[in-house]
Amino acid sequence: MLFNSFAFIFVFLPLLILILFKIKFIRKSYILIFFSFAFYCYTNFIHLFLLLADILWVYFLLKEENVIKKSRFLLCCSFPLLSLVFYKYSHNIYRLNNELEFFESIMMPLGISFFTFQLLSYIIDVRRRNETTLSLKDLVIYISFFPQLIAGPIVRVAQVKTYISKINSFNLNFSKLKKIIILFILGISIKLILADSLNTINELLINKKTFLNIFEIGFLSYSYSLQIYFDFFGYSLCAIALGKTFGINLPSNFLNPYSSKTPREFWQRWHVTLSRWLRDYVYIPMGGNKKYTRNIIFVFMICGIWHGSNFNFLLWGIYHGFLIILHKQTKLLWESLPETIQLLFNFSLISFGWIFFIFDSNQLTQIFFNVRYEYMDLMGIFGLKILFIYILFLLAVKIRLKKLYLFFYRKKNGIISPIILGVVMLMNIILMLDTNEFIYFRF
C-alpha cells in the first residue's frame, strides 16, 4: 500500500486512528501487528508468508541462546539472505536463459532489502551480546512495523526497543495527532508536489526514443538528483510521522545531504541508516581504515548491489566509492576551495552518478557512445526547466524543516495554519490522481 494512495489516506489511516482513539479493550501491540500485516498484504498476500517465515526462522534459532555459536549464527543469517538473493536476483537467471520462464514471473516482495538488513542487524547485535533476544511479539513488531517496513529507515533494535515495550501504555491524544498530521502532510507534499513534478519532466528524457544530447544528460542528472531526494525524503517524513501514532520515534534518514561539501559528508547525510549499517556491519569488521581503499570499494559495491541486481547499480556503487577515495587523495586541494564551490562541485559529482542509477548497462553504453554535442536553446522551455531545477536546489539546500513544522504547529498563527495545510492537502489529493510509487519501493 502506498502512503500517497486514496486507500491509505481515506481508509487505512482514518480507520487506524479511529480504533486507537475509541477501542480500549484491545492491546495496541495487537492492533499494530494487524494493521502492519494488512498494509503489507494489500499489494501481495503471498509475500506476507515470506516475511513471517524470515521472522520465525530468526526467532526460533536465537530463542533462549546465551551464546550464539558461529554455525548457528550462519544458519540464522542464511534463510533471510538466501531469500533476498533469490527474489532480488532471480531475473538475472532468466536473462541468461530465456527458456527458464519461471524466473521471469517471480515478483520481488516489497521492502525485502530493508527488512532483511534489519533482521541481519538484529542477529549480529544479539550474537555480539549488544542486545538480548526479543519476544516473538516484539520481534514481529520490530520487523513488520508498517511505517518503515517497505522503504526504511533501517532501524536498529536498540533505537526502538524501549518504544516497543511501551506501546500498550502509549495514548494518542489530539495534541500528538496534530503533530503527526502536520509532519505527514509535509512529507506527502514533498513527494507529490516536488518529486512527482520532477518525475514528469524526467520521464520525457528517460523514455526519449532518440539519443540524448550533452545538455539533456546534464539536465537529467541534476533533475533526477533532486527528484530522488524529495521522493525518498518525503517518504521518510511520512514514516516518522506515522511511527508517532504508536509512540515510536524513528531515526532521521536525511540530514540536508545536498548541503554537504564532500562525498564522505554526503554519505553521512544521505540514507543515513543504510550508511551506518554498512559502516558498522561491513566496513569496521573488515578492518575499517586499516585497508581503506579496498574496504571503501567493497562497501560501496555492496551498497550498489543492495539497490539492484543490474550491472548499472554495481557501477553506481563503485563510482561513489571512487569519489570518496578521490576526495581523500585530494583533500588539501579540495578543501582549499571556497565552500560554495565545494558544495556545487560535490553536488555535480553526486548528481552525475545518478545516470548510472537510472539506466541499465545497455542503455548506458548507448548514451555515452552516441551522445550528441549539439547546441540547445537555453532561453526557451528548456531554460525555464533549468530555472525550476535551480530553485528546487536552493530549496533542498536551504530548507529548514523544523522551522516550517513550527510555523504550522504554533497556536499564535490562529486559523492561518489550518487553512494553508487544508489547501496543501487538497492539492495533494488532486495530484494523487496521477502519482507514482515511491522510488525506493523498488528495493
Domain membership of residue 1 (yes or no) is no
Domain membership of residue 14 (yes or no) is yes
Is residue 21 within 8 Å of 173, Cβ to Cβ? no
Is residue 250 within 8 Å of 239, Cβ to Cβ? yes
Whether residue 180 sits in one domain with residue 164: no
**Predicted pLDDT of residue 303:** 94
| Nearest Cα residue to 55 out of 83, 85, 89, 26 | 83
**Predicted pLDDT of residue 4:** 87
Whether residue 179 sits in one domain with residue 152: no
Q: State the burial class of residue 311 (Cβ atoms within 10 Å of its Cβ: 0-12, 13-18, 19+).
A: middle
Residue at a domain's end among 136, 155, 171 = 171
User: For residue 224, what are the contacts with CB-CB under 8 A and spacing of at least 6?
Assistant: 198, 202, 351, 354, 357, 358
CA–CA separation, 206 vs 216, rounded Å? Answer: 10
Please state the separation of Cα 105 from the chain's center in Å: 25
Bridge partners, 213 (sequence order): 372
User: For residue 228, what are the contacts with CB-CB under 8 A and spacing of at least 6?
Assistant: 195, 354, 357, 439
Helix ranges (H only) for 360-399 are 361-369, 381-398
Whether residue 381 sits in one domain with residue 362: yes
Domain membership of residue 47 (yes or no) is yes
* pLDDT, tens only, 38-48: 999 887 788 89
Containing structural domain, residue 28: 6-171
Domain membership of residue 340 (yes or no) is yes
Whether residue 209 sits in one domain with residue 160: no
Whether residue 32 sits in one domain with residue 69: yes
Q: State whether the Cα torsion 346-148-2-144 is positive or negative.
A: positive
* pTM for the predicted model, two decimal places: 0.90
**Predicted pLDDT of residue 386:** 72
| Nearest Cα residue to 8 out of 437, 420, 371, 317 | 437
- Long-range pairs of 159-164 with CB within 8 A, sequence gap ≥ 24: 159/250, 159/251, 160/248, 160/249, 160/250, 161/131, 161/134, 163/246, 163/247, 163/248, 163/249, 164/29, 164/134, 164/138, 164/248
**Predicted pLDDT of residue 279:** 94
User: For residue 295, what are the contacts with CB-CB under 8 A and spacing of at least 6?
Assistant: 283, 286, 287, 288, 289
Is residue 121 within 8 Å of 277, Cβ to Cβ? yes
**Predicted pLDDT of residue 246:** 93
Whether residue 182 sits in one domain with residue 155: no
Residue at a domain's end among 117, 152, 171 = 171
**Predicted pLDDT of residue 120:** 95
Residue at a domain's end among 135, 154, 171 = 171
* Residue 224 CB-half CA count within 13 A: 22
The series of mean pLDDT values per 10 residues for the chain, 443 residues long, is 88 92 86 93 86 94 77 91 85 58 66 92 89 90 92 90 91 88 90 88 80 82 90 92 93 91 94 94 91 93 88 92 94 90 92 90 78 55 67 74 68 73 86 82 72
Whether residue 355 sits in one domain with residue 292: yes
Whether residue 155 sits in one domain with residue 246: no
* pLDDT, tens only, 307-356: 887 888 999 999 999 999 999 999 999 989 999 899 999 999 999 999 99
**Predicted pLDDT of residue 381:** 52
Classify 213 as helix, strand or coil: strand
Whether residue 273 sits in one domain with residue 162: no
CA–CA separation, 250 vs 145, rounded Å? Answer: 11
User: For residue 266, what are the contacts with CB-CB under 8 A and spacing of at least 6?
Assistant: 257, 258, 260, 346, 350
Whether residue 233 sits in one domain with residue 120: no
Q: Considering its fold, how many domains does the chain have in total?
A: 2
CA–CA separation, 356 vs 168, rounded Å? Answer: 46
Domain membership of residue 179 (yes or no) is yes
User: For residue 331, what are the contacts with CB-CB under 8 A and spacing of at least 6?
Assistant: none
Domain membership of residue 132 (yes or no) is yes
Residue with grid cell 524466473, as numbered in its chain: 103
CA angle 157, 165, 36 (to 5 degrees): 75
Whether residue 317 sits in one domain with residue 289: yes
Domain membership of residue 222 (yes or no) is yes
Domain membership of residue 438 (yes or no) is yes
Whether residue 150 sits in one domain with residue 189: no
CA–CA separation, 242 vs 147, rounded Å? Answer: 6
Which amino acid type is present at position 251? P
